[in-house]
Structure 1
Amino acid sequence: MTNHGLSSLEKKVAFSLAGVFGLRMMGLFMIMPIFALYGQHLEGFSPLWVGIAIGAYGLTQALLQIPMGILSDKYGRKPIILIGLVLFAVGSIIAAMSDHIYWVVFGRAVQGMGAIAAAVLALAADLTRDEQRTKVMAIIGMCIGLSFALSLLAGPLVAQYLGLSGIFWLTAVLAVLGMAIVHFLVPNPISQAPKGDTLAAPAKLRRMLLDPQLFRLDAGIFILHLVLTAVFVALPFNLVDAGLVKEQHWLLYFPAFVAAFVLMVPMIIIGVKRNNTKTMFQLSLVIMMLSLLLMGLYAQNLWLLSAAVVLFFTGFNYLEASLPSLIAKFSPVGEKGSAMGVYSTSQFLGAFCGGMLGGGAYQYLGAEGVFFVASALMVIWLFLSFGMEKPVLLKSVTLEAHITDKPHALSMAAQLSQLEGVVEAMVVLEEKVAYLKVDSHFDLSKARAVLGSAH
């Protein structure tokens, strides 16, 4: 049986992993708008250490994405994700109990050590078919965006009543909730790629770094999150100057995210149905570039500034949703964890550098300078995108699998991977189905013979 929409498994994967991602990212985002205000009671407090405390998270994330991605290839996605969430909870507790900013920095660094983004995205890729992957990544990407919008509302409210330590205690609770979702709701994939190349080797990273298609995508996510972080150094000040008091910023951000989602959905549909992902990709870059120019040119006009925010997040959300899917399509079979590790390293390094660039540009060039520099970076990315190839579309087939236990599922996956035309095979015990990524040489009858074989 084939399915042109999201299967029940893919819906479960999309929303459970989006929940894990969203809960964890809220732990980061809630701190950003309130740390400088609510951390002044800490010993050793200074603006420099505020920046270090925020940056420590992104820096350790960047440093450990590749190792955690490789470990997820070798030991499985779910165990690595659970270990990462434990570290995130421990770091939150350390920060919550700290009365010196140095210990808060240490807690934030421990939070960042739970670098699970690569493993989560790789697991999503493992459990979804090729033509449905963009939809699943869009759900995850939108959940990250929504978590940011909610954090702008929740962060100040929680801090107002519970203080800075309350934010960190809530972050620890969210991490534990994420562990429960991973353990009880996320399916267990049994994946087998040809030639036994599922185990990533550090030597393979250099080839992926030098791959021109992967490099374009890694450079893109670096620029995307650099621009996002830099913009939010300057944008809140501009909104205040334009007449929107800080207590009402959530009244702009949340509707802007909703409007951006409505505008993004047709772009996703057109890109998938007409197989012109590259065109939609470049359109998103142009939309973001224009939105940044609007922010810089009309910083005092609240209505134009609001329209620019909607456009900014329309482009941002599409790119955030599309990039992981493209990484999965261009990465070597069985090395998604390593490819996603490079990707996520670039993402968090971009956020870390964006904070530094945004602060420096704001100090020396003003808010307008931040937006113009960010717009110039989008031009560079647009230039890089012209060399992007159209990803190869392989056919994905969903078949019933008569399996009784895990060893039987492993045996089936191994047999399926050896069939002519099968690029990748995955058997999911809980759903009793097999997902195959195949080319034109695939023989459906041979696959059904394997799946109907006796234990």
Structure 2
Amino acid sequence: MSASGLSGTEKKVAFSLASVFGLRMMGLFMIMPVFALYGQHLEGFSPLWVGIAIGAYGLTQAVLQIPMGILSDRIGRKPVIMGGLLVFALGSVVAAMADSIYGVVAGRALQGMGAIAAAVLALAADLSRDEQRTKVMAIIGMCIGFSFALSLLVGPVVAQHLGLSGLFAMTAGLALLGIVIVQLLVPNPVTHAPKGDTLAAPARIVQMLKNPQLIRLDAGIFILHLVLTAVFVALPLDLVDAGFAKEEHWMLYFPAFIGAFFLMVPLIIIGVKRKNAKGMFQVALVILLVALGMMAAFSHSLVGLSVAVVLFFTGFNYLEASLPSLIAKFCPVGEKGTAMGVYSTSQFLGAFCGGLIGGGAYQWLGATGVFIAGMILMAIWLILSLGMQNPVLLKSYTLAANVEGTDQAKTMAMELSKLAGVAEAIVVLEEKVAYLKVDEHFDLRQARAVLGSVN
């Protein structure tokens, strides 16, 4: 076993599924920095329809995200993932062949119907041990961030040489490559991970929406991706107006994204050392407010826009990285799958609304109107964050439980709750697992003793 604790199989699972997720996300993201610039030849082109085309995938993703995850529990993860990638490739072909913006919108909506996020994460959970699952998920998360950065580089370069049709054709190829990876490199699971960790339970969704801490985070990811999508309706056109040739936009986006990644590191370090995640969260929101304000104020200044882009990505990177971990900290024990399902749905809905609002605002108010709208939304999020609790640093465990009846499950849960360091404990008879949230005083051996010899 390596120092990381991951077995050879778990490493293979983590990096192969991260590649699949990354290839698919690149296919979605590559259009963002280029469509407003390279789609002007399409019939029906207007800023409003540009925004709808960029964000159309978010609506179908939001609608199908949870149902596709549930379907994967019934017919298997791999069939759902490969079927979703095939639908994504088909949507890419439809968009590539379109000669009107309406055809591109249809293709993008079809791309979104290949909603595989829940199934991919559930498969990763099925193929990893409880104690290593967080590391596997972290690798997949980092790959998603890297795919976004890479799309800012690759999208403008591909569009310059192959045009929009070539870019969409490339996304179809990436989806087909993902199918090959799933088929040849990802092992077949023999068991399902506990549902509470991986998949949304429809009956619990209303409960998640009533949780004041979770609803703040769900509203936050909605606003974050709304603003991101809206900004990329207006920003490319603003850069051209400021004298920055569209063929060279990658020379700003990619270095800015990478530089912003390093700039966010101090926020993470300070938040951990001072145990003040809430404070750093609010600092990131203020950074985004400043960035959007600079975009509005310096719309014709290349220097001003460049600084604004670096600041925007700094705040975005920090929030995008920290929100999922905050969801895990605030969600009730054993409900991570449902909490993440609501969170992901909010994220995709934000992307759709961002395209709609960004395109409409640009058409009627210009780029400055888009950035001011973004500032208003960020200010609302900042106000919402005032009621956010500073999360307690707790670890989550999912342990097998040697339990045979309801009374025994209740007794086990009571005994686990009495152990030192246990903040929350629940034993689920149907899944024969115990979900725990614990602090640094927790002794895993004591918990295993309570749960029986199955661990």
Q: Which stretch shifts more, 329-338 or 279-288?
A: 329-338
Specify the alignment match of 2:112 in structure 1: 112
Counterparts of 1:6 and 1:187 in 2: how far apart (Å)? 23
Specify the alignment match of 2:430 in structure 1: none
Counterparts of 1:375 and 1:157 in 2: how far apart (Å)? 30
Specify the alignment match of 2:164 in structure 1: 164
Contact kept, 8 Å, 1:292 with 1:371, in 2: the verdict is yes
Q: Which stretch shifts more, 155-164 or 122-131?
A: 122-131
SS of 1:324 mapped into structure 2: helix
Counterparts of 2:198 and 2:121 in 1: how far apart (Å)? 16
> Structure 1 residues 395, 172: CA separation in 2 closer, same or farther (over 3 Å shift)?
same
Contact kept, 8 Å, 1:129 with 1:437, in 2: the verdict is no
Specify the alignment match of 1:413 in structure 2: 400
Specify the alignment match of 1:444 in structure 2: 445
Deviation at 1:170, TM superposition (A): 1.6
Partner amino acid for 2:402?
A: Q
Deviation at 1:279, TM superposition (A): 1.9
> Equivalent residues in 2 for 1:420-435 (5 A)?
420-421=415-416, 423=425
Contact kept, 8 Å, 1:141 with 1:317, in 2: the verdict is no
> Structure 1 residues 369, 16: CA separation in 2 closer, same or farther (over 3 Å shift)?
same
Deviation at 1:104, TM superposition (A): 4.1
Contact kept, 8 Å, 1:138 with 1:321, in 2: the verdict is no
Deviation at 1:147, TM superposition (A): 2.8
Specify the alignment match of 2:291 in structure 1: 291
Contact kept, 8 Å, 1:361 with 1:370, in 2: the verdict is yes
Deviations 1:122-146 (A, max 9, x none): 666885989995x877765554444
Counterparts of 1:123 and 1:390 in 2: how far apart (Å)? 32
Counterparts of 1:46 and 1:319 in 2: how far apart (Å)? 33
Is there any run of 5+ residues in structure 2 with no aligned partner, and where?
417-421, 428-432
Counterparts of 1:173 and 1:413 in 2: how far apart (Å)? 41
Deviations 1:243-268 (A, max 9, x none): 32222111111111111111122323
Specify the alignment match of 2:384 in structure 1: 384
Counterparts of 2:105 and 2:361 in 1: how far apart (Å)? 24
Q: Which stretch shifts more, 386-395 or 319-328?
A: 386-395
Deviation at 1:174, TM superposition (A): 1.1
Counterparts of 2:179 and 2:336 in 1: how far apart (Å)? 22
Counterparts of 2:93 and 2:156 in 1: how far apart (Å)? 19
Specify the alignment match of 1:192 in structure 2: 194
Within the candidate set 6, 9, 22, 1:8 is matched to 6
Contact kept, 8 Å, 1:60 with 1:112, in 2: the verdict is yes
- State the identity as a percent: 67
Counterparts of 1:198 and 1:52 in 2: how far apart (Å)? 31
Specify the alignment match of 2:307 in structure 1: 307
Contact kept, 8 Å, 2:26 with 2:147, in 1: the verdict is yes
Deviation at 1:452, TM superposition (A): 7.3
SS of 2:260 mapped into structure 1: helix
Contact kept, 8 Å, 1:73 with 1:335, in 2: the verdict is no
Partner amino acid for 1:191?
A: A
Counterparts of 1:258 and 1:191 in 2: how far apart (Å)? 35
Specify the alignment match of 2:217 in structure 1: 217
Partner amino acid for 2:394?
A: L
Is there any run of 5+ residues in structure 1 with no aligned partner, and where?
399-411, 426-433
Partner amino acid for 2:448?
A: A
| Counterpart check, 1:375 vs 2:375 | yes
Counterparts of 1:394 and 1:75 in 2: how far apart (Å)? 34
Specify the alignment match of 1:21 in structure 2: 21
Output the aligned Cα RMSD. 4.1
Counterparts of 1:333 and 1:312 in 2: how far apart (Å)? 34
Specify the alignment match of 1:330 in structure 2: 330
| Counterpart check, 1:279 vs 2:279 | yes
Deviations 1:217-247 (A, max 9, x none): 1100011011111112222233223332222
Deviation at 1:90, TM superposition (A): 2.8
> Structure 1 length as normaliser, TM-score?
0.78
Contact kept, 8 Å, 2:299 with 2:368, in 1: the verdict is yes
Counterparts of 2:311 and 2:35 in 1: how far apart (Å)? 28
Deviations 1:345-368 (A, max 9, x none): 211211111122222322333322
> Structure 2 length as normaliser, TM-score?
0.78
Partner amino acid for 1:92?
A: S
Counterparts of 2:376 and 2:131 in 1: how far apart (Å)? 33
Counterparts of 1:274 and 1:212 in 2: how far apart (Å)? 24
Counterparts of 1:101 and 1:362 in 2: how far apart (Å)? 17
Counterparts of 1:102 and 1:374 in 2: how far apart (Å)? 26
SS of 2:193 mapped into structure 1: strand
Counterparts of 1:16 and 1:211 in 2: how far apart (Å)? 35
Deviations 1:142-188 (A, max 9, x none): 54444334333323433444443332232122113333444524795
> Equivalent residues in 2 for 1:44-443 (5 A)?
45-47=44-46, 50-71=50-71, 80-97=80-97, 103-120=103-120, 133=134, 140=140, 143-182=143-182, 184-185=185-186, 188=189, 190-192=192-194, 200-395=200-395, 413-415=400-402, 420-421=415-416, 423=425, 437=436, 439=438
Deviation at 1:102, TM superposition (A): 5.1
Q: Which stretch shifts more, 445-454 or 371-380?
A: 445-454
Q: How many residues align?
A: 428
Partner amino acid for 1:330?
A: F
Deviation at 1:445, TM superposition (A): 5.2
Deviation at 1:424, TM superposition (A): 7.9
Counterparts of 2:200 and 2:376 in 1: how far apart (Å)? 36
Deviation at 1:378, TM superposition (A): 1.1
> Structure 1 residues 46, 291: CA separation in 2 closer, same or farther (over 3 Å shift)?
closer
Counterparts of 2:132 and 2:281 in 1: how far apart (Å)? 16
SS of 2:402 mapped into structure 1: helix
